Amino acid sequence: MQFLSFGTNSLSGEIPKKVGQLTELISLSFEASNFFGPLSSELWNLSKLQQLALLSVLNCLQRNCRVNFPCNQGSPI
């Protein structure tokens, strides 16, 4: 799988850590979703990722929700 979108659905809760096991992903989108909470450090395993869409996460930040971004130890996404 190279493209995954969680957009426009009724899923909610924290972003699943298993997403970090999809190492062939090129594009990952959380736009128009109801996820909240910390972004899992497992996302740094996605070394082929070229696009990460976090509009819903950024909207959550504007509403003062709690979102934690893990420290990226020098591995750019």
Where are the domains positioned within the chain?
3-62
**Quick check: 17 pLDDT over 80?**
yes
In this prediction, residue 8 carries a pLDDT of: 77
For the record, the structure tokens of 25 come out as 């992903």
Distance CA(2)–CA(66), nearest Å, equals 29
Distance CA(40)–CA(28), nearest Å, equals 14
The predicted-structure confidence for 32-55, as pLDDT tens digits, reads as follows 777 777 777 888 889 999 998 876
Q: What percent of the chain has pLDDT over 90?
A: 21
